[in-house]
Structure 1
Amino acid sequence: MHIVGHGFLARSLEPIAAAHPDTVVLAAGVSWASGTSDTDFARERALVDATARQCAADGRRLLFFSTASTGMYGNARGPGREDEPAEPCTPYGRHKLALEQRVTASGAGHLILRLGHLVGPGQPAHQLLPALLDQVRSGTVRVHRGAARDLIGVADVITVIDRLLAQRLDGEVVNVASGVAVPVERIVDHLERRLGVRTEREYLDSGAQHAISIDKLRRLVPEVADLGFGPDYYRPVLDAFTDAALAGSAPTG
């Protein structure tokens, strides 16, 4: 596996790289769902196009990471599914869907994964969990009223990716998430209990929530039944992240 990128997800993929030598993984680009920089978007488009052209030329498979966030599925009626037309509702979601379409049209063998909110040691400070943990530590948390997010441990994501790549899939789009949207207030509650603190909450009336369908993932990777996905899955995921942060191995902002 040739990994393009050096960040959180790229580092997490290194243990399975040797098992998939004919795959090029794009683990670089815009990773901030609230980011709307035209310059950053253009830079990622150029990277996707160049990498896809190279994969088409030398017969390697391209693994592209898209998003299953609110930006992609926020307008979905019911759980967001890969086999239904997506209606992105943010610039980030529209950008990622357009990149999916460019990958599909490139002629390269490819697999597109729409990821939920990854959680694990060493995440960038701007991502959801490090940002929330920093706010809890500071004593004040901004909560978007009604917001909910699908959290999935990065170790489980790598397990799923390994199984999907082993199947030699081509031209597929797959949601990789836990299938459960956790209210952000409940996430904050859990972080407070874990740290033994109480915070002041500032509520904003701009929250959004959506559900992500993982029916296709369950069909393709039956082993996800052993990963513990369900209403309480997020608790041990948060515990592991918080423990690592407190031990100093998951620096936050």
Structure 2
Amino acid sequence: MEIVGSGFVAGALRTIAPRHPGVVALAAGVSRIRPEYAHQDLAREAALVTEQARRCASRGATLLYFSTASAALYGTPGCSGTEECRHAARTPYGRHKLAMERLVKRSGCRWLILRLAHLVGPGQRPHQLVPALVAQALGGRVRVLRPASRDLLDVADFVTMTDLLLGAGVEGETVNVASGRSTEVDAIVDHVAALTGTDPVRHYVEESSRHTVSIERLRCLSSRPWTFGEDYYQGVLDRSVGDLLRVRAAR
């Protein structure tokens, strides 16, 4: 596997790269829209997707594109959380990711699109969900979206899921890669506060982005009966927050 990018997802994929020759993993896309740089960020990703799709088409390689299964795509009221949901894309970021998916599908290359939940693990950037919550908790004030919910997925499980899909030769599919468990942000903050030994002031922001991601297609295509318990998110946070605190202590 050729990995384009050097961030969190790219680093996680390196362990399985030797097993998947002929795959180009595009792990250098936009992970958020910065209002002041929105046009540049989106144009940069569109150019990158176009370039890599052309390369894959000329070489007969498969382009592995990472989209989103977050509330940005599935948070619209009435959305089923399935890959065919017609109510998807409630935000500019969600609409951008759908546009990139269409670009990949129309490019003429072989492709596999994975819509990712909130991946959690070592090496995340400060603006991502768990590092941001830990920093806020330690700072004494946390911004909590309510009644929003998030699907947290351990990055190790993401790697296993990706490995199985590629190993099974899956292509020409759009697949949700998630736990299928939706946890309220308030509960996530509760656990982060307990792990950091803090009692931060909570600033509540009303946001109707509660959503659930369907992983039925993932189960079928990966031939694995993925099942995650209600407390799965707690184990994910235990590992991630512990790692973040150790890194902070070592500075």
Fold-level similarity (TM above 0.5): yes
Superimposed CA distance per residue, residues 59-112 of structure 1 (whole angstroms, 9 cap, x where no aligned partner): 000000000111111225253111333531111000000000010001100000
CA distance in 2, matches of 1:88, 1:200: 31
Structure 1 spans left out of the alignment, 5+ residues:
none
Equivalent residues in 2 for 1:26-105 (5 A)? Answer: 26-32=26-32, 37-75=38-76, 77-85=78-86, 87-105=88-106
Instruction: Report if aligned partners of 2:78, 2:87 keep a CA contact under 8 Å in 1.
Output: no
> For 1:77, what is the secondary structure of its paired residue?
coil
Q: How many residues end up aligned between the 2 structures?
A: 250
Structure-2 residue corresponding to 1:10: 10
TM-score by length of 2: 0.94
Post-superposition offset of 1:251: 9.6
For the 8 Å contact 2:154–2:236, the answer to whether it is kept is yes
Equivalent residue for 2:196?
A: 195
SS of corresponding position for 1:15: coil
Compute the TM-score of the two structures, normalised by the length of structure 1.
Answer: 0.94
Aligned residue runs from structure 1 range 53-202, under 5 A: 53-75=54-76, 77-85=78-86, 87-202=88-203
3-state SS, counterpart of residue 75 of structure 1 = coil
Q: Contact between 1:6 and 1:28, CA under 8 Å: does it hold in 2? A: yes
Native 8 Å contact 2:30 2:41 kept in 1:
yes
State the Cα RMSD in Å: 1.9
Residue 221 of structure 1: aligned partner: 222
| Per-residue CA distance 1:119-176 (angstroms, 9 max, x = gap) | 0011000111110110011111111121110000000000000000011112100000
Please give the alpha-carbon distance, in whole angstroms, between the structure 1 residues aligned to 2:250 and 2:100. Answer: 31
Which residue of the partner structure matches residue 231 of structure 2?
232
Q: Secondary structure at the match of 1:114?
A: strand
Deviation at 1:199, TM superposition (A): 1.1
Within 2, Cα distance between the matches of 1:93 and 1:250?
A: 36
Mapped to 1, the partners of 2:156 and 2:101 lie a distance apart of 24
- Does the 8 Å contact 1:68/1:212 carry over to 2? yes
Contact 1:160 1:224 in 2 (8 A): no
SS of the aligned residue for 1:204 comes to: strand
Contact 1:179 1:230 in 2 (8 A): no
**Residue pair 2:7, 2:28 contacting (<8 A) in 1 also:** yes
Paired residues of 2:168 and 2:222 also in contact (CA < 8 A): no
